[in-house]
Amino acid sequence: MRLLIGAIAAAIIATVGVGVLAYSAMTDEKELRHPTQAQLRRALPELAAAELKARGHPLKSPLTCTDMAGWTARKMRVQCTGQTAAGLPVEVYGAAEKDTVTEYFTILVDGRPVVQNAPCLAADCRSED
């Protein structure tokens, strides 16, 4: 009898746990990692530098980032430029859209894509795991 009661209790606890997880997943609103233009602009140089270093393209000096023409509070756009340690030109583009709650990043080294439309860079990618 105790075994049956224990099994029922375990089943109830498991069902409640699954229900709580399902409810959390359905009601969990996705948020932008960088919800403002200023935050995106401040985060991009460090994230892009770490991503480039991990891909074998360390930078000569920190990237210079500016707001792209036409950005809005709902459609943020940032562009960064710099040089690799090997002297190759680097361009980094970051975009975040509040309506779709998406972020995209592209990195070009010497005009060639190293990262193309990635949803995250460097440490930001690890935080999603």
Residue 128 has pLDDT above 70, yes or no: no
Identify the pLDDT of residue 30. Answer: 82
Joined together, the tokens standing for residue 38 give 């200023």
Q: What is the DSSP string of the chain?
A: -HHHHHHHHHHHHHHHHHHHHHHHHHH-----SS-SHHHHHHHHHHHHHHHHHHTT--BSS--EEEEPTT--SSEEEEEEEEEBTTS-EEEEEEEEETTTTEEEEEEEETTEEEEEEES--THHHHTT-
The span from the CA of 75 to the CA of 89, in Å, is 26
For residue range 38-90, list pLDDT tens digits in order.
999 999 999 999 999 999 999 999 999 999 999 999 999 999 999 999 999 99
Q: Count Cβ atoms within 10 A of the Cβ of residue 3 and give its class: 0-12 exposed, 13-18 middle, 19 or more buried.
A: exposed
Identify the pLDDT of residue 125. Answer: 87
For residue range 2-33, list pLDDT tens digits in order.
655 544 544 455 444 444 334 334 434 689 99
Identify the pLDDT of residue 26. Answer: 41
Identify the pLDDT of residue 2. Answer: 62
